Amino acid sequence: MESKAPSTATQQQSDAAAGTKPSLRKPIFVKIESLKPGTNGHTLVVKVVRSNPVLNKKPRLQNFRGPQTQNSKIAECLVGDETGAILFTARNDQVDVMKPGNTVILRNAKIDMFKGSMRLAVDKWGRIEVTQPEAFDVKEDNNLSLVEYELVNVVEES
């Protein structure tokens, strides 16, 4: 009988028991043109072309402590790489990072659908990092947020 190598889950459990950290997998960087509706877990290097503040709202109740007392800020930012561009929805602290001209790495980004068009977003499980300026020019004429999608239900007849 052949002996099988331990599965990755078994290896991770034995690593945790031994006190060593499991190895992290390398990020796979994708390009804007490969983004599809309803997908998530994307890692991209993009340039911020422009940023338009949409909402800057003060909290209604001042006597509470916690997240209710913070200002709500939302900005729509056009970001892109050499293959295309897409609108990015920046929330709260992300608005300060997404300044025009910055090159950022978006980790664990997801595609949200808003009024039938794609928007890129990073939630609490993702990360935005400002990085060194890249040499590429943003291809603004391939804006994926201008493409309108429609959900079609397919009924199979038997």
Convert the pLDDT of each residue in 83-133 to its tens digit.
999 999 988 888 888 888 889 999 999 998 888 889 999 988 888 888 888
Which is more confident, 57 or 141?
141
Q: Residue 118: exposed, middle, or buried by beta-carbon count in 10 A (0-12, 13-18, 19+)?
A: buried
What does the pLDDT read at residue 8?
47
Helix (H, G, I), strand (E, B) or coil at 153: coil
Model pTM score: 0.72
Is 54 a residue whose pLDDT tops 50? yes
> Could you tell me if 112 and 121 are in contact, meaning their C-beta atoms sit under 8 angstroms apart?
yes
CA–CA distance, 5 with 41 (Å, rounded to integer): 29
What confidence tier does 68 reach under pLDDT thresholds 50, 70, 90?
low
What distance lies between CA 144 and its chain's CA centroid? 15
